[in-house]
Amino acid sequence: MPLVGVEKKSALEFVRGSHRWPQQFRQVDFGDGRTDAIDESYESFPDIEGNRNRYEILSWDMEPGDCAIFNARTIHGGSGNLADGRELKVFNTQWLGDDVRVCFRSEGMDPDHSRLMKDLGLKPGQRIGTDTYPRFEF
């Protein structure tokens, strides 16, 4: 959810339907782009940017309070093409389904919460749910 207006050219982009693709791709660390220490059982991440015409890429102009909600398996990313004098200011939350289990991998997201999760006693295969990661019943 942007806290300032964002033009489409600067907004988060999504590859339509990619959350339903059968492949599992190697995670690239978003913070530094590293692809070392990757799990060889996963496929290389497709070159979306170099082949934009092969994909239906979605994005929108957004105003403060607009909200994009998406499946985390959806291929997504920002262009980094911010308007002059405009900083990226967003509010971000992540929600997990009951089917999500802990799985520590050598590559991960930025920020990487693996150490915190291990310190909380979470183990591979367990459901997420502690005071830090509370569960909500709907």
The predicted structure's pLDDT at residue 34: 55
Sign for the pseudo-dihedral over CA of 73, 108, 104, 2: negative
Q: With a threshold of 0.95, does the pTM exceed it? A: no
- Give the pairing of strands 12-15 and 76-78: antiparallel
Q: Where are the domains of the chain?
A: 1-93, 97-138
pLDDT value at 135 more than 80: no
- Of the spans 45-54, 82-91, 103-112, which averages the highest pLDDT? 45-54
Percent of the chain with pLDDT over 70: 85
Residues pairing with 127 in the sheet: 101
Work out the angle at residue 64's Cα, subtended by the Cα atoms of residues 62 and 69, and round it to the nearest 5 degrees: 65
Distance, in Å, from the CA atom of 60 to the CA atom of 7, rounded to the nearest integer, reads 7
Q: What count of other Cβ atoms lies within 10 Å of the Cβ of residue 14?
A: 21
